[in-house]
Amino acid sequence: MFALLALEKFAQTRENQITICKLFAEHQNHPLLKMEEYLKNEPVSRLWHAKQEGFCAQWALDNIFILESRPYSYETCETSQINAMLNHEDVSEYLKIGPDGLEARCDVSSFESVRCTFEVMDGCWYYEATVLTSGVMQIGLATKRSRFLNHEGYGIGDDASSVAYDGCRQLVWHNAKSLKHEHDNWQPGDVVGILLDIPNGEVIFSLNGTRLKEANSEFLSNRQPSEGVFAAASFMSFQQCRFNFGATRFKHNPGRAFRCFNDFGNLTTAQRTIVPRRLRLEQLEKEHIPDDYCTICFAAPATTALSPCNHDGFCSDCCNMMDHCPLCRGVIEERYSQINNNKFLETVKSPSNSSVSGLVRINSQRKSIRAASAIAASTGSQIQNGANREISRRHTQV
Ligand SMILES: [Zn+2]
Ligand SMILES: [Zn+2]
């Protein structure tokens, strides 16, 4: 599997990609098609490895080493019974999401995050996540205000708007602080249960049906009543997890009456269709972006400037989401409209309209994907190395 991941990296240049595709085609049995078979037919003796290998082969066949004769996975994947899944429009740029929207994997050095499509406002809810790997993942809940700072090593549980269970380091994360818990380290195949009980103000994590003695109440007490809560998770390198929002039977019972996202969710065709990144990029490339649009999201006119540094070229939504200027890293004290040059006071940190932030994220992905290919083509992986340092710094603080 790591050989395949290495090939993925080599294939960042078009020339290498073509050469590798040709080499694959020379085999009588295409090696990736054979690996993809593991998804249906796992050798039981190495079940969790085989599931990872199958997932990686499928993702590579959909995104990088494309075969004319093979339909894309999203075209053949049955999702009609799935009403809540990982949101491919609300994810940091390098996370791999499977075609049914219920499995995710990270193969880069940044800390990749995702939220699900279903938003909870009130009541008691439960979902499960089966970990396929035993490394660092932070699985839990987040509002839209939680930001995915993947390159800086921040994810779910690292701000006041999210809470997460980490079964590798045996911690519960909230507001970038961690509390040691009493569970053993998680192992491949272990099931994390996440119970969100809004009326009682509690989030209760369990591992294989055994709940933590202490519930987290800070997350819900920090949340505004008007803010929706989403299932969410972050992944370090080579970590993978499968989510169950209720489309199949839960493995464990959280011990109180609950509802599941799948019974109440509703997905549009666009939401349930996980189009490979390459196709999505092609679709985005066809869109025309006016020259005076925001240089961060490309989704709205650049009408806003920052004070005191006076850097501009951003839309008001992006400005409201930033604490520091992306150009000079200076602290933002005020944002002002350049239309009438009126200064306006700082508003909420994140736009409440989720479709706006969804759009912002898609367009940020476009920029990031472009940036990533530009970096791959020229300087190698400077940004990644920087992110690595940040992440290792943060993780050694634990
Ligand atoms: Zn913007
Ligand atoms: Zn600046």
Q: What is the DSSP string of 125-167?
A: EEEEEEESS-S-EEEEEE-TT----GGGT--TTSSTTEEEEET
Domains of the chain: 2-70 (no CATH), 86-269 (2.60.120.920), 276-398 (3.30.40.10)
pLDDT value at residue 314: 94
Q: Where are the alpha helices (DSSP H) in 43-130?
A: 47-63, 73-76
At a CB cut-off of 8 Å and minimum separation 6, what does 349 contact? 145, 320, 321
- Is residue 371 within 8 A of residue 381, CB to CB? The reply is no
Ligand number nearest CA of 312 is: 2
Distance 319 CA to ligand 2 centre (A): 11
How far away, in angstroms, is 160 Cα from ligand 2 center?
A: 26
> Position of tokens 């190495």?
46
Strand-pairing partners, residue 139, are 165, 233
Strand partners, 107: none
Encoded tokens for 208: 């294989």
The DSSP H or E segment spanning 264 is helix 261-264
Nearest to 176 by CA among 186, 168, 166, 191: 166
Partners of 230 in beta bridges: 142
**Residue 25 structure tokens:** 């085609």
pLDDT of residue 280: 82
SS3 at position 242: strand
Distance (angstroms) between ligand 1 centre and the Cα of 317 equals 6
What's the gap in Å between 10 CA and the centre of ligand 1?
32
State the pLDDT at residue 360: 42
Q: Shortest CA distance to 387 belongs to which of 398, 377, 375?
A: 375
Counting ligands in written order, which one lies closest to the CA of residue 359?
Answer: 1
pLDDT score, position 102: 97
Q: What is the pLDDT of residue 221?
A: 96
Coil vs helix vs strand at 280: helix
325 CA to middle of ligand 2, Å?
5
* 310 alpha carbon – ligand 2 mean position (Å): 6
Which ligand has the nearest atom to the CA of 315?
A: 1
Q: How far is the CA of 361 from the centre of ligand 1 (A)?
A: 10
pLDDT at res. 129: 98
Distance 258 CA to ligand 1 centre (A): 38
> Encoding tokens for residue 169?
């380091």
At 119 the pLDDT is 96
**Protein residues near ligand 1, an ion, with CB under 5 A:** 294, 296-297, 315, 318
pLDDT values of the chain reduced to their tens digit, one per residue, 398 residues: 899 999 999 999 999 999 999 999 898 899 999 999 988 876 666 789 999 999 999 999 999 999 989 999 999 999 999 999 999 989 998 999 999 999 999 999 999 999 999 999 999 999 999 999 999 999 999 999 998 888 888 899 999 999 999 999 999 999 989 999 999 999 999 999 999 999 999 999 999 999 999 999 999 999 998 899 999 999 999 999 999 999 999 999 999 999 999 999 999 998 999 988 878 888 777 878 888 999 988 888 999 999 999 999 999 888 988 889 999 999 999 999 887 655 444 443 333 333 334 444 444 444 444 444 333 333 333 334 444 444 444 444 43
Cβ–Cβ < 8 Å for 21, 33? no
Expressed in angstroms and rounded, the spacing between residue 303 Cα and the centre of ligand 1 is 9
